[in-house]
Amino acid sequence: MDVKTALEKRKSTRAFLDKDVSIDLINKIINQAKTAPSGVNTQPWQVAVLTGASKDNLCTKLEKAFRDGNKGSMDYKYYPLEWAGQYKRRRKECGLLLYSTLKISREDKKRQLDQWALNYQAFNAPVVLLFFIDKTMEKGSFMDYGMFIQSIMLSAVEYGLATCPQAALGEYPDIVRNELSYYKDKIVLCGMAIGYEDKTKAINTYRTSREDISEIVNYYS
């Protein structure tokens, strides 16, 4: 598969088949992704691969924290404290499109809550990747990490797998660290659901828009 096709096919998938993904395939994808560039070759990525009971136990605890009303607090600020301008508009459009695709009304708070809670179950994907980084690393390594994560998603497309990168899986970092004590001194960056797409589910028809190139690029000569 060429890069153009992989970029166009990649999307955030939110419903997966009940079908196992082999660890050998996950390892193959990560091995390809680790060729991503990083400043002075720091390679700051550290990945936990969760399946089976380990995944279920962690996801159950994350969802419980959410449903109990505990506000998550990531190890770093992912979103701005105040939304404004084009970012506020895009965020609103994103949410409205999701709920309209699922035919969830503005008044149906229970279905909205249940849909959001699926984030903490990694949308029932068979595999969850969790990404960690040392506390000594700075913002440049976060940029490097983004290239690594994108590489995982593009490689997954080639092997017929679907993914969803998830900040939500990093919203309760203490729960994650308690479950995975090996990473007790690390920053929890985010997670990723990975598996085979359930193409019968309406939510997987949901697509966000992208701005025209004229809105994001200026030319100088």
Across residues 107-125, what is the average pLDDT?
95
* Residue 190 predicted with pLDDT over 90: yes
Burial bucket for residue 106 (CB in 10 Å: 0-12, 13-18, 19+) = exposed
Across residues 117-123, what is the average pLDDT?
97
Residue 215 lies in a domain: no
**55: pLDDT confidence band, cut at 50, 70 and 90?**
very high
- Rounded to the nearest integer, the mean pLDDT of the chain is 96
Residue 177 lies in a domain: yes
Across residues 100-120, what is the average pLDDT?
94
% of the chain exceeding 90 in pLDDT: 98
Q: Identify any residues that bridge with 166 across adjacent strands, giving them in sequence order.
A: 191
Q: Which domain covers residue 78, as residue numbers?
A: 3-206
Residue 168 lies in a domain: yes
Residue 89 lies in a domain: yes
Provide the domain count of the chain.
1
**47: pLDDT confidence band, cut at 50, 70 and 90?**
very high
pLDDT of residue 1: 86
Residue 38 lies in a domain: yes
Residue 213 lies in a domain: no
Rounded to whole angstroms, what are the CA distances from 204 to 13, 25, 126, 194?
6, 23, 17, 14
Residue 133 lies in a domain: yes
Instruction: Give the type of residue at 50.
Output: L
pLDDT of residue 195: 98
pLDDT of residue 139: 96
**115: pLDDT confidence band, cut at 50, 70 and 90?**
very high
Give me the CATH number covering residue 65. 3.40.109.10
Q: How many whole angstroms separate alpha carbon 16 and alpha carbon 11?
A: 13
**125: pLDDT confidence band, cut at 50, 70 and 90?**
very high
pLDDT of residue 97: 93
Residue 214 lies in a domain: no
